Structure 1
């Protein structure tokens, strides 16, 4: 199990090899090697270590998205709405937001802690918290219990920012984009598996009464999908605990006797004030990450609510099984598309342009919501071929939006002035993204509910509002700095 440090972080240990000519210290700007005209050999990725980190990434959608196919039905069954289906959106949005609200309050602290004690122990805490909280969610029978379980999950989980920081530790300027390109693929895989688990395994006593006939399954009809998700995350935790290696020593343990190191970075990351990162080259990528997270979560929350809401309330009236299947198929196709085309698209267009194409796709993505309801109403509630064509078009636009994620991860990592600030910059990005994710579900589902309840703009105020948000987002994306390698070209 012991391996040379250079092998662990993916850099060749042979001084004569081309890859060994660049081994960035914590004080070296992350993309400084790209300012030279010489094109260096791409360093091979440390496959085992990156693979384990992808499991950490997979755990987030596995536990986070499993509730989406049944969350509206669960809210109705808990009884908090008093039988008024129009109020489901308010309470569903609150549950969906709480995870990210608590995550936003702790994400930066977890990222900074990982620089002190190492990435691995912090990520272990996050995985264990996710595992326990999803079990608790499945055993919750009151609205308060549902809220508490989601809060615990978000509070203990700062893995997203820490995991991206560790990818920065494991890679150099020649293979960083290759590693970050895997993240949306893995998330799409989770987006395929998790909704299928949630939509298929909810209410097992109704679907498979010969296997789940006990009183327990009637009392806890959503425990099975939550338990399956929890078991998967427990397996990921075990794999990481055994095989993941720390890439570098925590900052507190690193020597600082070298005079040139002291001159290059007089402050360690732990003592670096946040105001030192408040520069345009950092602020714009972080702000765009926040807006992308907001738009994505608004779509996901609206998708679940819109497809589940009755037709006369402005939705499509689809059951959880169909919603879960659609989200699962979307994740499957998304993973294939990202795998086959993402690298080629970014190579041709660049990270910034690819990101902006994904942002532009949000305009028709949200515009299609009222069109879908109009089509099904026009056809008397029938699910016509035209309806399915438009649903397919809408889900196809998600593929473009999802390409933006790997692009913004690369842009944020490139924005870190040096290795010492990698944890802080990723933690800041995760804090902003989590804040956006905390706000967006409750915000958009509440506007949806108010639009329908008070017939604002014919019930379409929520879509007009989102189009305005996307317009502001597209303008903001124009201020993204060009990555160094694209400036050079």
Structure 2
């Protein structure tokens, strides 16, 4: 047999391309994740149509219409604040006791809290329900951990391509259910007119929709979902370990000897300080700036559409604005389902991510361009063409959310610490979700005042874009490079 000869004229770094065999998507478990994501989105989407009227009905504003938005904002923010506070805890705990117990606990609690929201007659009751619901919805990060457990680098892009489906479904079903089923005794007197329960609690039926959905998600999780964490420990063992540490009791040497004598020890969840590696911090910074960048732009879209043309907007009425958003979400979601996996195979996660970030810059520049066109031609076809181009660019920006998931998975120090790494990254992203819309709306409103630079808001948004691009430069060109380093 002749040994292979090295060709000294061939560059050392040039390697023959090998076609990667893609692992089939595990649909027996993946469809449950889609149901869980739908249930999570429905919790929020269902409440949006009737919450302002609910605030008026309970009388907390004292008849002051200007305070309705203030109290609605408190309810909305409390949900996300509670979610941020608990998401790291849930993610770390899921690495130790498994994903399934936490998902079951969260689904049960969310179902109860949604019914509690519909039965609340005071603002304190509403606030408590949203706080508890948001705290247990920190398990949304656990579901993302579960997705990374059951996939690998070859089929995760395909899985992310399907993730818009539950969000789009909830965005359609939630508002319809929340709006049409609120005050059912008044809307459908022939069916619900005799129900004293629904007369006393006119929003209970609307809240029952996400509660039933969460209950169905609980049943599916209990009977169909397989635990994906192989190194899980019983919760009681973790409590005893914590008590032993508090008592300064050293662990038993027999268990340590047993582990040392084993030929192959599976990876164990790492403590938080060991999870905070440069890779995790890079992805956390990239994810945080991406969310801050995207939400600041998205937050001003309805304001820009509704602002009079003379003040820098488009003077559109709510039905037109709603139609634009619904069409944009539907088309963007379908595009990602059909093409994201193919684009990833052709260009890779990094190229898609950077392209998405760069697409936001011209999308921002189009804001004043659209207003100039509206001033010159009214709401004619040039304006609608420019709006369409802007929405396409923003849809490309939205695809970054799918790409960041690949980097999250690759940044984990080991397979047993995916939950903790994802928790840190989601924590930073959650903070960005709170401050992004506030900053975007505040800067835009400030720049629209007479005597101020109308471009101030656009300078701010473009600066956020360049910061997001700057942090993305430190991401690997291929997430698999980081995963191979941890093997």
Normalised to the residue count of structure 2, the TM-score between the two structures is 0.75
Residues 1:276 and 1:250: Cα distance change in structure 2 (over 3 Å): closer
Once the two structures are TM-superposed, the CA of residue 443 in structure 1 deviates from its matched residue by 3.8
Match of 2:331 among 325, 330, 333: 333
1:247 matched to which residue of 2?
Answer: 228
Once the two structures are TM-superposed, the CA of residue 122 in structure 1 deviates from its matched residue by 0.6
Q: Is 1:420 matched up with 2:405?
A: no
Give the length in aligned residue pairs: 446
Distance, in Å, in 2 between the alignment partners of 1:377 and 1:137 is: 46
Q: Is the 8 A contact 1:192 1:331 kept in 2?
A: no
Q: Where does structure 2 lack aligned partners over 5 or more consecutive residues? A: 1-14, 238-254
Q: Is the 8 A contact 1:129 1:157 kept in 2?
A: no
Q: Is 1:294 matched up with 2:275?
A: no
Distance, in Å, in 2 between the alignment partners of 1:211 and 1:385 is: 46
User: 1:155-304, aligned counterparts within 5 Å?
Assistant: 155-198=135-178, 225-252=206-233, 257-259=258-260, 268-269=268-269, 272-303=270-301
Q: Is the 8 A contact 1:89 1:448 kept in 2?
A: no
Match of 1:64 among 37, 40, 44: 44
2:95 matched to which residue of 1?
Answer: 115
Distance, in Å, in 1 between the alignment partners of 2:71 and 2:375 is: 26
Q: Secondary structure at the match of 2:25?
A: coil
Once the two structures are TM-superposed, the CA of residue 119 in structure 1 deviates from its matched residue by 0.5
Once the two structures are TM-superposed, the CA of residue 435 in structure 1 deviates from its matched residue by 1.9
Residues 1:421 and 1:45: Cα distance change in structure 2 (over 3 Å): same
1:472 matched to which residue of 2?
Answer: 467
Q: Is the 8 A contact 2:120 2:126 kept in 1?
A: yes
Deviation larger for 99-108 or 56-65? 56-65
Residues 1:260 and 1:178: Cα distance change in structure 2 (over 3 Å): farther
Distance, in Å, in 1 between the alignment partners of 2:426 and 2:333 is: 23
Distance, in Å, in 2 between the alignment partners of 1:79 and 1:64 is: 22
Q: Where does structure 1 lack aligned partners over 5 or more consecutive residues? A: 1-34
Residues 1:280 and 1:300: Cα distance change in structure 2 (over 3 Å): same
User: 1:372-383, aligned counterparts within 5 Å?
Assistant: none
Q: Is the 8 A contact 1:304 1:323 kept in 2?
A: yes
1:25 matched to which residue of 2?
Answer: none
Distance, in Å, in 1 between the alignment partners of 2:465 and 2:397 is: 12
Which is greater in Rg?
2
Once the two structures are TM-superposed, the CA of residue 220 in structure 1 deviates from its matched residue by 6.5
Deviation larger for 431-440 or 410-419? 431-440
Q: Is 1:483 matched up with 2:482?
A: no
2:10 matched to which residue of 1?
Answer: none
User: 1:37-76, aligned counterparts within 5 Å?
Assistant: 41-68=21-48
Instruction: Please list the CA deviations of residues 162-198 of structure 1 after superposition, one character each: whole Å capped at 9, or x if unmatched.
Output: 1122223223344333334332443344344434545
Distance, in Å, in 2 between the alignment partners of 1:318 and 1:296 is: 24
Q: Is the 8 A contact 1:289 1:429 kept in 2?
A: yes
Instruction: Please list the CA deviations of residues 77-133 of structure 1 after superposition, one character each: whole Å capped at 9, or x if unmatched.
Output: 767497565x77665544433222211111111111112222011112222333333
Distance, in Å, in 2 between the alignment partners of 1:221 and 1:155 is: 26
Q: Secondary structure at the match of 1:471?
A: helix
Residues 1:186 and 1:352: Cα distance change in structure 2 (over 3 Å): farther
